[in-house]
Amino acid sequence: MKPVLPSDDRLPERFRSKVAESETGCWLWTGATGRDGYSRYRYGGKGSKTGVAHRFAYENLIGPIPHGMQLDHLCRVRNCVNPTHLEPVTPRENTLRGDTLAAANAAKTQCPSGHPYDDQNTFVDAKRRIRMCRACASERMRIRRREAKRKEYSMRPILVTTEHRGVFAGLIEDDQDINARSMPLKSAKMAIYWGTTKGVMELAKDGPNGKSKISLAADIPALHGITAVFDVTPEAWKKWEAA
Ligand SMILES: [Zn+2]
Ligand SMILES: [Zn+2]
């Protein structure tokens, strides 16, 4: 299934500009909220009705809400408009769930690591339907990010040329076969304009200079048609990263 992102262009720019994604996946509404804590959004167009923003997101990204159904916030964050955190339920079910959650919260007030299970620190994993601790989740995310960074440090910077006369610099795994015609390239940047007269060797040895035009970095799952591979010096790689 395609991930649902707050940048989805099925949502108008006016809507997207009011969403701040939290580390735990909630799309926090930075626009107006009602006294009940729910997001308010002027739908625009004919009649221009105002409704809750999370309904708007659900209808545009997931589908129509069955008549008479309410959207239950699985994450318990009222101003969250992430449609994957919402589930259409009957008003009765919605009330029951509120009660169940309140009861569960009362029974268990801390996560296994001792963080409080209060409104601020609790969210619901929409897929697994379980209560989660925000503090623990962001700690896990921090560790994951650090590991990804560490992995990147141990990767090897190379410069490749392709049969379409492309010149890319990026990172490969240590055990990557460099004779392969096709390979994944991480944090890859393409030299759009070299800005040097000495050719690709200079881009590998010294990196791009002020006159070079370099694309934004992207992870390329498989770069095809590779014709040559050069090692990039650590100094040159720093310049590629900064370019
Ligand atoms: Zn949420
Ligand atoms: Zn915790």
Q: What is the pLDDT of residues 43-63, one digit of tens each?
A: 876 667 888 999 999 999 999
| pLDDT, mean of residues 19-35 | 89
Are residues 233 and 117 located together in one domain of the fold? Answer: no
pLDDT tens profile 30-43: 999 988 889 999 88
Q: Rounded distance, CA 105 to CA 219, Å?
A: 42
Mark whether 45 and 130 lie in a shared domain. Answer: yes
- In this structure, the answer to whether residues 19 and 132 fall within a common structural domain is yes
Looking at the CA of 117, which ligand is closest?
2
Query: Residues with Cβ within 5 Å of ion ligand 2?
Result: 111, 113, 115, 133, 135-136
DSSP state of 66: P
Nearest to 39 by CA among 82, 78, 91: 78
134 and 17 within one domain:
yes
Residue 181 has pLDDT above 80, yes or no: yes
2 in a structural domain:
no
Q: Give dist(CA 93, CA 99) in Å, integer.
A: 10
- Is the same domain home to 202 and 93? no
Q: Which of 111, 140, 169 is the last residue of a domain?
A: 140
Judgement on whether residues 124 and 220 belong to the same structural domain of the protein: no
127 with 159, same domain?
no
Q: How far apart are CA 234 and CA 162, in angstroms?
A: 22
Tokens of 1: 């299934």
Q: What tens digit of pLDDT does each residue of 82-138 get? A: 999 998 988 888 777 766 655 555 466 788 788 987 878 888 776 666 678 899 999
Asked if 116 and 158 sit in the same domain, the reply is no
Q: Could you say which ligand is closest to the alpha carbon of residue 122?
A: 2
CA distance 40 to 56: 10
pLDDT value of residue 198? 73
Instruction: Find the domain containing 186 and state its range.
Output: 154-242
Task: Please report, for the domain that includes residue 229, its CATH number.
Answer: 2.30.30.100
pTM, whole model, 2 decimals? 0.44
Cα distances from 110 to residues 74, 115, 187, in angstroms, run 19, 5, 40
- Say if 146 falls within a structural domain: no
Any domain includes 160: yes
Q: 3-class DSSP state for residue 133?
A: strand
For 183-208, what is each residue's pLDDT tens digit?
A: 999 999 999 888 776 778 889 999 99
Examine the fold and report which residue of 140, 166, 201 is the final residue of a domain before the chain moves on. Answer: 140
Give the Å distance between the CA of 80 and the centre of ligand 1. 5
5 in a structural domain: no
Cα–Cα distance between 38 and 91 in angstroms, integer?
A: 16
Look up the CATH number of the domain holding residue 50.
3.90.75
Question: What is the domain count for the chain?
Answer: 2
Q: In terms of domains, do 102 and 164 share one?
A: no
183, 226 contact by CB (below 8 A): yes
The answer to whether residues 135 and 18 belong to one domain is yes
* Ligand approaching nearest to the C-alpha of 113: 2
CA of 106 to the centre of ligand 2 (A): 16
